[in-house]
Structure 1
Amino acid sequence: MHQVLFYVGDFPVRSFGVMLSLGILAGLLVSYYVAKTQQRYQEEVLDLAFYAILGGLLGARLWEVMFSWDYYGSHLSEIPAIWNGGISVQGSVVGGLLAVIWYCRKQKIALWLMMDTLAPGVLVGQAVGRIGCFLNGCCYGIPHQHLGVIYPAGTDAYYTFGSQPLFPAVLFEAAGDVLVLILLLVLYKRKPFDGFIALGYFILYSAGRFVLEFWRADSLRTVMDLKAAQVSSVVTICIAVAFMVYLYNRERQSANKKDVNRINIRN
């Protein structure tokens, strides 16, 4: 576990930044592959990548700063220092989603179909990025003797708990991302309507994140003693389920209309 992998002169190359970059690249390649297999939106995925990455990074940092204002309010100069960690996965999803919505409306692209194309890549990016969080010693878990990992001096985890073994929550989250990815890829060709894969991602990731937060030690608590990530996960699940019901009913109504039209033509 190394926060700094090596130096280029006096410039430290940090593991978090390297894994974040690799996660973005891997996610883009996976989304492009999905688009290529579907034979649509290959060029659009590449064009959209810049805006989605920018929106994701801004959203990730702003989300973290917003929920950690007690610290950043007194350390304003550290707000832009994204290379030191301190970004939120949920914030990156919100920021990236807003960029995708804007781009699809501007280019008149089917939003739900594009979101289905991007969802597998997002999961890959999150999984790789979480390894960066682990190497950086942030997003640490609660003390745990059996599954715990001892973080080295200089990390946020060590600063908080010392040499106690801590539950590696982000590694379990990365593993969960991979499992969700496999499931969604299996279901991709069988999806009942456009948007099913993207909404499945929101539901499954949020459910996993809600559970893992019970083992996280660095999260802000909010209402009903729940953590901020848990509250946002519940809200995300509710919204995604509502959209899934709406899109499913719309697809059924469209299929019924087609059946009626076919009967009328035959008659």
Structure 2
Amino acid sequence: MIEQIFFGQFQSPGPVMFQIGGFALRWYGFLIASAVIIGLNLCQWLGQKRGINPDLFNDLVIWLVVAAIPSARLYYVAFEWPRYAQHWLNIFAIWQGGIAIHGALIGGTITILVFSRYHQLSFWNLLDVLSPAVILGQAIGRWGNFFNSEAFGAPTNLPWKLYIPFANRPPNLTSYAYFHPTFLYESVWNLGIFAILIALFFYGLRNPEKIKTGTIACVYLIGYSLGRVWIEGLRLDSLMLGPLRIAQVVSITLVLLGTAGIVWLYLLQKNLPDWSERKLVKN
């Protein structure tokens, strides 16, 4: 595959990693599983430095997988319902692609809030630890789109153009063979944001008075979402809400929320509200 990318035509080798009899391991599933494992280990390492018991992340990752992946799929299906209305069993065929990161973020955020409240952890401290792992996982997971020959952009003749098989091209663009590799743009962008978040994290360990709790989470929202706004504008398969690209609408909203968080922390000099600090009432 490496030779194919750098010495030949830039194109996917196919969605299947290998197959033995009726069993097929798909790149998409392999990459998601790899992102989870790498993210778990990173969270345990960073969490320990922020005073969080690393063993708690073993439980949290189960919570997140159970909540985030289904919510990412349901979010996608909700905006693509005509594709699934007549073949609703395909809703469960997640290995074929078709999950939305914003759906995962919604499900994951709710899960983290419940988890942090249950374990009496600071919600924002936990988010600061998770954010670098999340953006790294997004950078890894985007390559699933490459192997599935999906989520590409408009036709292009740039040197890094991506060849898309005829069967995967939009019906109105079948005469074009090469498209923007938007998965690559987002993966590289996310790696850049990951580097920024890690730098902020360790700078904050040395200078806790300068990097307040919640800053890293807010920078994640701003950084990732700014990239998504312009990359989404290139894509041909955007989830739509009328004339609007829903990912752009959500991303702009997240930029505003992240900016509001930074203003709250540094201009107003206040801590972000942390609902997890309220004690649970047990019967």
Q: Do both proteins adopt the same fold according to a TM-score greater than 0.5, normalized to the shorter chain?
A: yes
2:49 to 31, 37, 50: 37
Structure 2: 5+ residue stretches without partners = 1-11, 205-209, 272-283
**Corresponding residue to 1:25 among 37, 48, 58:** 37
Within the candidate set 241, 245, 248, 1:230 is matched to: 248
- Residue matched to 1:186: 199
Select between 202-211 and 133-142 the one with higher mean Cα deviation. Answer: 133-142
Aligned to 1:262: none
Aligned residues of 2:72 and 2:103 also touching (Cα < 8 A)? yes
The offset of 1:158, in angstroms, is 6.9
> How many residue pairs get matched?
251
Counterpart-to-counterpart distance in 1, 2:107 and 2:270: 32
Residue 109 of structure 2 aligns with an amino acid whose one-letter code is L
Task: Tell me: CA distance 1:20–1:160, structure 2 relative to 1, closer, same or farther (3 Å).
Answer: farther
Identify which of 227, 234, 246 aligns with 1:208: 227
**Residues 135 and 253 (structure 1), Cα distance of their counterparts in 2 relative to 1, 3 Å cut:** closer
Of residues 225, 239, 242 in structure 1, which corresponds to 2:260? 242
TM-score normalised over the length of structure 2? 0.83
- Per-residue CA deviations over 1:89-118 (Å, capped at 9, x if unaligned) read 111111111111111111111000000000
Quick check: 1:69 aligned with 2:81?
Answer: yes
Q: 1:25 to 1:200 in 2, by over 3 A?
A: same
Structure 1 CA distance, aligned partners of 2:270 and 2:141? 41
Shift of 1:68: 0.7
State the 1:23 CA deviation.
1.3
In structure 1, list runs of 5 or more residues that go unmatched: 255-267
Matching of residue 7 in structure 1 with residue 19 in structure 2: yes
| Distance in 2, Cα, partners of 1:159 & 1:8 | 33
- Counterpart in the other structure of 2:278: none
Q: Determine if the alignment matches structure 1 residue 173 to structure 2 residue 166.
A: no
Distance 1:57 1:222 in 2: 22
Shift of 1:161: 3.8
User: Would the alpha carbon gap of residues 199 and 137 (structure 1) be closer, same or farther in structure 2, given more than 3 Å must change?
Assistant: same
CA 253–13 in structure 1, closer or farther in 2 if over 3 Å, else same: closer
More helix by share: 1
| Aligned: 1:148 with 2:166 | no
Task: Tell whether 2:99 aligns with 1:87.
Answer: yes
Q: Does the 8 A contact of 1:34 with 1:117 survive in 2?
A: yes
SS in 2 for 1:55: helix
Question: Which has the higher mean CA deviation after the structures are superposed, 163-172 or 39-48?
Answer: 39-48
Alignment partner of 1:132 is 2:144:
yes
Pick closer, same or farther for the CA change 1:253–1:126 going to 2, 3 Å: closer
Answer whether contact 2:142 2:187 (CA < 8 A) is retained: yes
User: SS state of the match for residue 109, structure 1?
Assistant: coil
Question: After the TM superposition, which of the residue ranges 5-14 and 201-210 deviates more from structure 2?
Answer: 5-14
C-alpha contact 1:219 1:227 (8 A) present in aligned 2: yes
Query: How much does 1:166 deviate?
Result: 0.6
Instruction: Please list, as runs of the form range in 1=range in 2, the aligned pairs for 1:248-263 lying within 5 A after superposition.
Output: 248=266, 252=269
Q: In structure 2, what is the Cα distance between the partners aligned to 1:144 and 1:23?
A: 30
Q: Counterpart of 2:129 in 1: which secondary structure?
A: helix
TM-score (norm 1): 0.87
The percentage of aligned residue pairs carrying the same residue is: 29
Within 1, Cα distance between the matches of 2:109 and 2:31? Answer: 21
- SS of the residue aligned with 1:61? helix
Does the C-alpha gap of structure 1 residues 46 and 248 become closer, same or farther in structure 2, counting only changes over 3 Å?
A: farther
RMSD (Å) for aligned C-alpha atoms? 1.9
